[in-house]
Chain A
Amino acid sequence: MAAIEILDLEKSYRVGFWRSRIKPALRPLRLTIEAGEIFGFLGPNGAGKTTTLKLLMGLVFPTSGTARILGMEIDDPRVKSQIGFLPEQPYFYDYLSARELLNYYGQLSGVPAKGRAARVEQMLGRVGLSDAAGMQLRKFSKGMLQRVGLTQAILHEPKVVFLDEPMSGLDPMGRREVRDLIQQLRSEGKTVFFSTHILSDAEALCDRVGIIHQGELRGVGSVAELTSETQGKVEIIFYAERVPAGLTSLGAEARVSGEVVNAVLPEEQQDAALEVLRRERLRLISLAPVRSSLEEYYIQKLKPAESMTAEKPKEDNRKGAVV
């Protein structure tokens, strides 16, 4: 079952002094996210990620097109009790404590009074904020605020969670915590749609990713497939202080780092390369095929459309479409 269906959603703004110029913020977007899926929406700053999320949240209104969440139109009031949303760089009522804020959001989300306080405490404990629960949010660090933000998004147990740049501005520890939380949401069967420009986060968490650039969806693909595709090359790592001459003649691109050499060469030269190492009595550390990375796919998709027409990159056309 589809959790989110985006059907040619489009947004443009009138700009200029006379508002006569039309600036597209999102070109017609067609995308389907399945229930239980973790979907990463990737793109550089200003690509249209936040606009898409705001359209889905009803914060801005589409110029054309529509979207459905859990089978309901986005302007259907019932949708709101089934979704959670963390905006980019969230700012909360800083005169409230974390406990008061979550209680307020719980009230607005319709969490029953009976059990609300316990739910708030449980959630604060889950993100490690029990000790700071009574402190005003103006005294919170950015990482703590982000944790509060995540907590408010899932407090009312929504089925679909939207996160806008959830790792933005966090230190490595904070990012790890957010990753863990998203993985917990996956294990609870929730659908997570999150935007990010940090590719490693998307690679570690997402089932599928969509690449958006200049308001246009450039491609959708399964992370597992994208990153499992081999490129016909192998990477050999071994102990040595210089690159053996035999290896260079096999067409290897090698670099020395201390006492370790890292060499990449065509797959068909793999046996010959191993023979060189045996001959030179060098100790092998690892040998593995070179796989595509999400970064390569991302960069490829960000290239201008005209330069992409000659290529036929791997795409998952079942659940998304290149517009």
Chain B
Amino acid sequence: MSSDGMNSGGMKWRIGYIAFNTFREAVRDRVLYNLIAFALLLSGAAILVSQVSIDIERLVVVNLGLTAVSLFGVVIAIFIGIGLVSKEIDKRTLYTVLSRPVRRWEFVVGKFLGLTGTLVVNTLFMSFGVFLALLYVAHRFERMDGWVLVALYFIVLQFLIVCALALFFSSFSTPLMSAVFTFALFVVGSLAEDLRGFARIARGATGAVATAAAYLVPNFSALNVIGQVAHGDAIPARLILYNTAYALLYSAMAISGAVLIFQRRNLK
């Protein structure tokens, strides 16, 4: 045993153990079964599109496939994210974890990483499905198909933010309200560019509120390049860099908020 049980080397391991256990829970609770629904949806769509479409097979498959990846993942992120900590409190499994040399922030971060890990694995399988469907309708890969990978990467960045928000809301609210808040923010955030456009033309107090809201809500629309890659458009490297930094910063802030609230919480 370590001398104090709380050294920084041990900390990394503890977060890793908690993350792995969260991943294991998701797998054993059959979360990955959503892949079956996804596979059925995509293969059905690919067969249908290949029979009725003329020259837009690729566009339809990329659009449908990536939208499905995003929606399936967001639903998982919200519904598991809101219960990540609250379920452990309700079921009192947290008591035997926090009575060990585990800091509360380590627990929150470990849970977050476990869920995002689950979503990354889920997305990897789904991505494989999207490329299989693409191959089925187009019979070969093209250079522009590489941008689909970037769109998938952006979808994973979306998941990071959604997970962090679900965790943040669940640190002070009920699971139902946390789900409502997170989903509402996902919808509003998906329209963030429109909100920013409105903020630019609005005047007075409305303009100030719209500007504040536009910059406060997560900008999911910047992370949505599905339409562009479906048309084979290239994604600038600057956007990849900007979106990566934005998603990491935004989720770090939401997790920090969750940790701050959880640190002070009495586990009655």
A interface residues (Cβ-Cβ under 8 A, vs B): 13, 54, 57-61, 77-78, 80-87, 89-93, 95-96, 104-105, 107-112, 149, 152-153, 156-157, 162
Contact = CB atoms under 8 A, between A and B. Distances in A.
A61 B268 CA distance: 10
Nearest to B98: A59
B166 to A, nearest CB: 20
A322 B97 CA distance: 33
B17 A111 contact: no
B1 A111 contact: yes
Central interface residue in B99, B103, B266, by most chain A CB within 10 Å: B99
Nearest to A55: B266
Central interface residue in A59, A61, A89, A105, by most chain B CB within 10 Å: A59
B200 interface: no
A107 B13 contact: yes
B4 A81 contact: yes
B101 A109 contact: yes
B238 interface: no
Contacts of A58: 98-99
Given A60-B268, A77-B5, A95-B25, A110 B96 contact: no
A84 B95 CA distance: 11
- A contact face: mostly helix, strand, loop, or mixed: mixed
A61 B17 CA distance: 26
Contacts of B143: none
B170 to A, nearest CB: 18
A111 B2 CA distance: 8
Contact of B1 (A89, A95, A96, A156): A156
B28 A59 contact: no
B1 A108 contact: no
B96 A92 contact: yes
A83 B25 CA distance: 27
B24 interface: yes
A100 to B, nearest CB: 8
B5 A78 contact: yes
A77 B98 contact: no
A279 to B, nearest CB: 65
Nearest to B101: A80
A228 to B, nearest CB: 36
A149 B5 CA distance: 21
B176 interface: no
Contact of B93 (A86, A93, A108): A93
A85 B13 contact: no
Given A57-B98, A109-B1, A110-B1, A77 B93 contact: no
B101 A87 contact: no
B10 interface: yes
Nearest to B21: A104
B266 A87 contact: no
Contact of B100 (A89, A91, A105): A105
A162 B99 CA distance: 10
Contacts of A104: 17, 21
Nearest to A103: B17
A93 B25 contact: yes
Given A60-B267, A104-B21, A77 B97 contact: no
Interface in B84-103: 91-103
B260 interface: no
A78 B1 CA distance: 12
Given A85-B95, A93-B25, A110-B2, A80 B100 contact: yes
Contacts of A108: 14, 17-18, 97, 100-102
A83 B266 CA distance: 20
B75 interface: no
B212 interface: no
Given A57-B99, A59-B98, A108-B97, A81 B267 contact: no
B95 A59 contact: yes
Central interface residue in B5, B6, B93, B96, by most chain A CB within 10 Å: B96
A69 B141 CA distance: 65
A112 to B, nearest CB: 7
B96 A90 contact: yes
6 tightest A-B contacts by CB? A81-B5, A85-B99, A77-B6, A95-B28, A60-B266, A80-B101
B29 interface: yes
Given A59-B99, A111-B1, A112-B1, A93 B92 contact: no
18 contacts: A13-B266, A57-B98, A59-B94, A59-B266, A61-B264, A77-B4, A77-B103, A84-B99, A85-B96, A93-B93, A95-B28, A105-B96, A108-B102, A109-B5, A109-B101, A153-B96, A156-B100, A157-B1
Contacts of A60: 266-268
Interface string B8-31: 001001100110010011001100
Contacts of A157: 1
A107 B101 CA distance: 10
A153 to B, nearest CB: 8
Nearest to A57: B99
Contacts of A91: 91-93
